Structure formats: structure tokens, C-alpha cells
Structure 1
Amino acid sequence: MKQITAKEVEALLNQNKQLNIIDVREVSEVATGKIPGAVNIPLGLLEFRMQELDKSKEYIIVCHSGGRSFRAAQFLESYGYNVTNMNGGMLAWTGRVE
């Protein structure tokens, strides 16, 4: 599975790269702040909402500390999605939040 650091994601966003970020935290967690442009799909709903994702796109998966996003990335990868796990999750994020 591909991995990326929070600093690398922040650098890509600062270069105005178009990223597809999926935040798999619960709605209440996302309410405290998320990476700008990230789409919230809680881990428990991922199986039911994965058809909303496009297999031709690359997705960066984010959670609180990296555990749930790792599991989500494994799951999506097993269905043929192009995913990268953000190591350390939002605990490692020092960039802007919305």
C-alpha cells in the first residue's frame, strides 16, 4: 500500500495540486476541522458509499491517527481503487483546516 506523510500532502496542496482526499473519521470528529477540500465518508459507511468513488482517480485516505485510514485504504485497494494512506492522520497535520 502506498503511504504519504501529512507534510507531503500539505506541500502538494500549497502547490495548488488537485487532490482527492477522503476523511474516514466520524462526522463529530470532522466537525473539529478537516483538510480543505476533503470529503467525509466515515469508515463504517465506506462499504456502502465506495461506488461514489472513481477508480480512475487517486485518493488520499485520512483519519485521526492513521489506523482507520490504513484499514480503509486496504479495503478500497482490494476493490481496485488507487489509494494512498496518509501516515499519522490529522494528529500529524499542521496545515490549514476548514
Structure 2
Amino acid sequence: MTTPNELRLLPWSGPGEKPCYLSTDDPDGYMSRLADNIEAVQLGTASELLEEASEALDNQDTSLEEMRCLVRELTGALRDIFRVATSRGHLLAASDTRESAY
């Protein structure tokens, strides 16, 4: 039986924004690779939005509507990145637990 520390929080949510988890010992399996690729896209998007936000803050001509749109996008990216960080934190904790057992 899989313990909760061995479950991987996936970088997307299910119906009702509920978290989705993957139970596998195969880091090279289809779902693991898919999750890795989606995480990479999410991290890239967040990086681009961060640069866009810096530019918008430096630009005196940025409208209130443009800032609202940017904040909406940043909020979504932050939610995604928080999920990635949480997932990777759980993976590290599970890895540490397995290594200390040897």
C-alpha cells in the first residue's frame, strides 16, 4: 500500500479545484513525464509573467485594466508554482524517508 508521502501532487487540479495525485514508483512513466513537462511549462510561464510585471511596473503608461489583467495572470501562475513547489517538497520528503531507511 502507498503512503501519502509517496503520492505525487500533480500540476493540475480536478473538478472543483480538488488536488490530483499520482501513485507510481516509475518516474519515467507516461503520467510522471507528462506532469514534469507541464511543470516545466508552468515555471516558464511564471518566469515570463514576472518579467512582464517588472516592465509594467516601470512603465508609467500601463493602464489600470492592463495591470488587473496582469495580476489575474500572475495569480494563476502563482497558484501553479505553489502547487509545483508543494509537490516537489513532498517528493523530497518521501525521498529522504526512503534513503534513511537504508
Query: Could you state the TM-score of these two structures normalised by the residue count of structure 2?
Result: 0.25
Larger Cα-atom Rg: 2
Query: Could you state the TM-score of these two structures normalised by the residue count of structure 1?
Result: 0.26
Higher strand proportion, which one? 1
Higher helix proportion, which one? 2
